[in-house]
Structure 1
Amino acid sequence: MTKQEEEIQENIDSELKKSDSKQNNSSKKSHGEILKEQICEGQETYNKKASSIILSSLTAGLEIGFSFLLICTLFYYAGGSFSEETLFKLISLVYPVGFILVILGQSILFTEQTSLLTLPILNNKREAGSLFRIWGLVIFGNLLGGYLMSLVLIWIGPKLGIFEFSTFEAIAKHVTKPDSLTIFVSAILAGWLMGLLSWLLTSSSETISRIVIIFVITATMSFTGLHHSIIGNIEVFSGMITSPQIEFIDYLKFICFAILGNAIGGAVFVALLKYRAFVYNVDGNHTNY
């Protein structure tokens, strides 16, 4: 790092400290305050042991499966009353439940953590290699938890009479129907929304408002059909296990493009843009001096 770069970094850190120490009578947080909290939260994840990260992300993969449980149940029971197209819109009413459980329960979900974990890299507090290591651990835990929850639901659903194997097939076919490029761009938009979700949650401290934010963002993803890698993992994996119409290549295509798209959406369109907007403002203020 050159002397000029060190001075710029010192200015950024100084502004972040000022934002953290400001006393504001209103509940509204400034851009700098939110950014400061986001960087600190990201740092906390980096400081955790690998075993803790894997266990927490495994828990998130399991918990988000409750969304899939409700999706399948609604799809099965409302199937005789609505068209399939309408059913996939109605699913948005129950889709957020797993996200609420995961996020308020503070389990580590890849798409929510994408921008959080990128910010310390942008702020020169961590190296890029450590980012990919953490991402790898979180993705592994989320996917593994999803596989386990999928196997449980495949077994329990028909026994309780709340859905059948045909339900898994219909949902998986719907998720994997678009071509690879469409899934990729759709996943970027979903990752963008999840990064914004993390940012908005930091700006709010009340539980009710946080639940509303989670519901609005995730219901938007579901209603518009955007691809979320972690819950989509359960949807497509379940279809692959129970139906010959969903092949391994369909699962592989989905999970690769969805993870990559989600990562880009959160890291670039939220973390990078939000951080650079703050930095440009800092540079402008110091230039004026």
Structure 2
Amino acid sequence: MAFSKPEKIMEITVENGVKKAKYAAGQTLILGFEAGAFIALGYLLFIRVTAPLSESLQGLSSLIGASVFPIGLILTLLAGGELLTGNMMAVPLARFAKKVTTKQVAWNWLLVTLSNFAGAIFVAYVFGHLVGLTETAPFLDKTINVAEHKLEASFFQAFLSGIGCNWLVAAAVWLSYGAEDMSGKILGIWFPTMAFVAIGFQHVVANMFVIPAAIFAGHFTWIEYLYNFVPVFLGNAVGGVVFIGMAYYHAYKKKEPAIKSAPVVQPLVKSGSR
């Protein structure tokens, strides 16, 4: 499996960041909806696979669920999608390279946040609530348990958890950009994503599915969700911008060659001249 070195991956990521920032608003919204739905479907699969397992298999259950969840990010990156957590790394990296403006970064994040939320909510309401995939036993208990665990975290805990999550997710995106074939991209995406899920870190887009799914079932409130959304969003931003984007930009950016000053040439003075 062919792959690029980190220096080349940074160049590829900057190019992708520029492309993302320059998409038309309609294109960004469509691709953002797709990504939000893909991540939600990955979480729905997690719930459907792990809920029937007994509590005695909790460790194995977490591993099994984490191993199927990455399908959402795989679909986003290979089929096409604009995911907030990935853009929190790629678009700021293009800003560090002075290829886009701060205004373009903010606009991209806003559009992608709204469209990711729309896609995740669609899956939560249509498939989770109307079809009942998260509201029948034992799946409802699992959905409530997962949502409750996320909501009970303090602001600081949710913030730090968000950093850990997007440190891994942004690394997965970084690896996928470095792979030159589909199988390499899938492997690069799979393991970091599986790791963040198994650890239990909080992902702002994944939470857009599981917490509203519990709310649609009559548990928790939108205010409680808002108190979770803010710190997880901020933590994901720090994880993507600082721990991957900024770190690798400063590690691998091309250094400008030093400019040597030209020697001063003294004019020749002819003897006897006045």
Q: Secondary structure at the match of 1:189?
A: helix
- The alpha-carbon distance between structure 1 residues 157 and 127, as it changes in their structure 2 partners (threshold 3 A), is same
The answer to whether 1:168 aligns with 2:143 is yes
The answer to whether 1:249 aligns with 2:226 is no
Q: CA deviation at 1:40?
A: 1.0
Give the aligned residue type for 1:71.
F
Structure 1 residue corresponding to 2:197, chosen from 209, 215, 222: 222
Give the aligned residue type for 1:134.
N
Q: Does the 8 A contact of 1:154 with 1:165 survive in 2?
A: no
- The alpha-carbon distance between structure 1 residues 29 and 215, as it changes in their structure 2 partners (threshold 3 A), is closer
Tell me the residue number matched to 1:87.
61
Tell me the residue number matched to 2:237.
263
Tell me the residue number matched to 2:92.
118
- The alpha-carbon distance between structure 1 residues 288 and 259, as it changes in their structure 2 partners (threshold 3 A), is farther
Q: Secondary structure at the match of 1:282?
A: coil
The answer to whether 1:192 aligns with 2:167 is yes
CA distance in 1, matches of 2:186, 2:138: 28
Deviates more, 1:175-184 or 1:133-142: 175-184
Give the aligned residue type for 1:227.
Q
CA distance in 2, matches of 1:59, 1:150: 14
> What are the within-5 Å matches in structure 2 for residues 1-289 of structure 1?
27-78=2-53, 80=54, 82=56, 87-152=61-126, 153-158=128-133, 163-244=138-219, 246-279=220-253, 282-283=255-256, 286=258
Q: Secondary structure at the match of 1:64?
A: helix
Q: CA deviation at 1:30?
A: 3.4
CA distance in 2, matches of 1:206, 1:122: 28
Give the aligned residue type for 1:120.
A
CA distance in 1, matches of 2:157, 2:44: 26
CA distance in 2, matches of 1:271, 1:81: 39
Q: Does the 8 A contact of 2:48 with 2:139 survive in 1?
A: no
Q: CA deviation at 1:249?
A: 2.7
Aligned residue pairs total: 260
**Larger proportion of helix:** 1
CA distance in 2, matches of 1:176, 1:273: 30
- The alpha-carbon distance between structure 1 residues 264 and 288, as it changes in their structure 2 partners (threshold 3 A), is farther
CA distance in 1, matches of 2:30, 2:244: 26
Deviates more, 1:131-140 or 1:268-277: 268-277
Gaps of 5+ in 2: 262-274
Q: Percent identity?
A: 20
Gaps of 5+ in 1: 1-25
Q: Does the 8 A contact of 2:3 with 2:180 survive in 1?
A: no
